[in-house]
């Protein structure tokens, strides 16, 4: 067949050739209704010649002829009727003509679908090759989110901001949103360099509350902010966060008497706001040197020279002021009765004064207690677990509260900081 996409030596019999001509005659031309059976236009002499001329162009017009047939007979994208006709055509064509000699037609058809078919393709379209399905530019929004591991909130935000082209398709039961795959690929590349607030906190090695404090202190900016309290998410530059972490580390060689960050934070008296921000500021100003065991540390992995930290902390604190037990309890964030228990058992050092009745507590005493002891309540908050769970875990490691053998138990469980490591 000269000019035909079917190569010579095809060995098609007369019946197969006739079926091919009849199939194209059903669909050829913009007005072709594509119903089953023989097109009535072929049975009428005044229209049969025109139809056969169009069919000949399809069969012998090579790539241009078949591509012209697809464009003029179905008008995909212009009408739902054209899309339905194309759906019927390709199913009939693929099922009736399975020989390899028809592959050039199928290749052009699938290429046309990739360029013009305004619907998603999936493995349920079993007649098409995997390559065609993978190359199709339209994806269901949910499929795109799953395949590219993009949160739906990010995808919808990109769609609403016209960063990702989309269209709404009315299905038999409900509407579905399709997204343009090339735009999704570009979105994925951009998001690879950004983190949500939760992921950014995990990346830095801090709690969500601490991350919020650092952000509000201006240590890093955001790439995008939520549109409202219920829509959208924060986005932060991963590169900026990485540089921020690197800027904190003085050396990878920890000093002989290293103090962990968690221990350093416990040195701050109760009621001090944002102790982590205070420490970070001291590092950046050069007042403290931070050490980390790896090239890409997290904040929780930072360690300090114990003596340097104590000297710095002493300069920051005023330890001469004395407080009543009630005032000390407020500063420590504990119940007044519990504060009296700590004072009466000697865990919290107290003083007496000729000028004031009752026991008095110095700031140094509070700081000393906070450095030597840890409340189970605070351990549970740090770990994000229940107090019972943390207590059981410590017991399994042989770590017991200080009042384990006491006749009179404390209102809260207290542990020696040295036992926790």
Residue carrying the six token digits 């399709």: 178
* pLDDT, tens digit (0-9, with 9 covering 90-100), for 68-86: 888 888 866 656 777 788 8
- CA dist 140 and 51 (Å) reads 38
Residue with tokens 């350093």: 264
The pLDDT tens digits for 4-36 are 888 887 888 899 999 998 888 888 875 444 454
What are the residue ranges of helices labelled H in 97-165? Answer: 103-116, 130-135, 141-147, 152-160
Predicted TM-score (pTM) of this structure? 0.44
Lookup: tokens for 237: 């530059």
Closest CA to 188 of 222, 242, 221, 146: 146
Place of tokens 């205070």: 278
What's the token pair of residue 360?
């008095």
Please name which of 16, 106, 115 lies closest in space to residue 63, comparing C-alpha atoms. Answer: 106
**Helix ranges restricted to H, 161-237:** 181-191, 197-204, 208-216
Cα atoms in the Cβ-side hemisphere of radius 13 Å centred on 144: 30
pLDDT digits (tens, 9 = 90+) for 97-139: 999 899 999 889 888 887 777 777 777 777 777 777 777 888 8
Q: How confident is the model at residue 228 (pLDDT cuts 50, 70, 90)?
A: very low
Place of tokens 């012209």: 68
Phi and psi of 85, rounded to 5°?
A: -65, -45
Question: What is the end-to-end Cα distance of the chain in Å, rounded?
Answer: 85
Distances (CA, A) of 223 to 190, 220, 413: 11, 10, 43
């Amino acid at each position: 067949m000269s000019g035909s996409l079917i190569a010579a030596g095809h060995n098609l019999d007369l019946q197969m050739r006739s079926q091919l001509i009849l199939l194209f005659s059903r669909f050829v031309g913009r007005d072709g209704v594509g119903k089953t059976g023989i097109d009535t236009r072929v049975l009428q002499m005044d229209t049969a010649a025109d139809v056969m001329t169009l069919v000949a162009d399809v069969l012998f017009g090579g790539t241009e002829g078949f591509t012209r047939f697809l464009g003029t007979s179905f008008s995909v994208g212009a009408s739902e009727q054209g899309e339905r006709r194309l759906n019927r055509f390709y199913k009939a064509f693929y099922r009736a003509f399975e020989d390899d000699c028809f592959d050039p037609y199928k290749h052009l058809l699938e290429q046309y679908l990739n360029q013009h078919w305004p619907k998603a393709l999936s493995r349920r379209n079993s007649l098409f090759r995997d390559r065609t399905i993978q190359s199709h530019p339209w994806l269901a929004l949910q499929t795109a989110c799953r395949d590219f591991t993009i949160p739906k909130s990010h995808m919808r935000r990109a769609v609403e901001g016209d960063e990702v082209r989309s269209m709404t398709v009315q299905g038999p039961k409900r509407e579905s949103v399709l997204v343009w795959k090339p735009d999704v690929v570009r979105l994925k590349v951009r998001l690879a360099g950004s983190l949500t607030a939760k992921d950014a906190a995990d990346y830095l090695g801090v709690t969500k509350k601490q991350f919020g404090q650092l952000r509000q202190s201006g240590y890093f900016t955001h790439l995008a902010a939520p549109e409202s309290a219920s829509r959208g998410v924060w986005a932060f530059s991963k590169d900026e966060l990485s540089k921020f972490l690197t800027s904190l580390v003085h050396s990878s060689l920890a000093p002989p008497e290293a103090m962990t960050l968690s221990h350093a934070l416990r040195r701050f008296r109760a009621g001090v706001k944002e102790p982590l921000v205070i420490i970070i500021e001291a590092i950046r100003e050069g007042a403290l040197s931070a050490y980390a065991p790896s090239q890409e540390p997290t904040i929780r992995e930072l360690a300090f020279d114990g003596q340097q930290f104590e000297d710095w902390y002493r300069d920051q604190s005023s330890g001469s002021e004395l407080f009543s037990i009630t005032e000390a309890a407020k500063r420590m964030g504990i119940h007044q009765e519990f504060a009296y228990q700590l004072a009466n058992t000697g865990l919290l050092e107290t003083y007496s004064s000729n000028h004031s009745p009752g026991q008095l507590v110095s700031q140094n005493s509070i700081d000393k207690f906070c450095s030597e002891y840890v409340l189970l309540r605070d351990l549970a908050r740090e770990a994000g677990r229940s107090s019972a769970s943390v207590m059981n875990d410590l017991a399994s490691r042989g770590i017991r509260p200080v009042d384990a053998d006491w006749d009179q138990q404390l209102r809260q469980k207290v542990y020696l900081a040295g036992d926790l490591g």
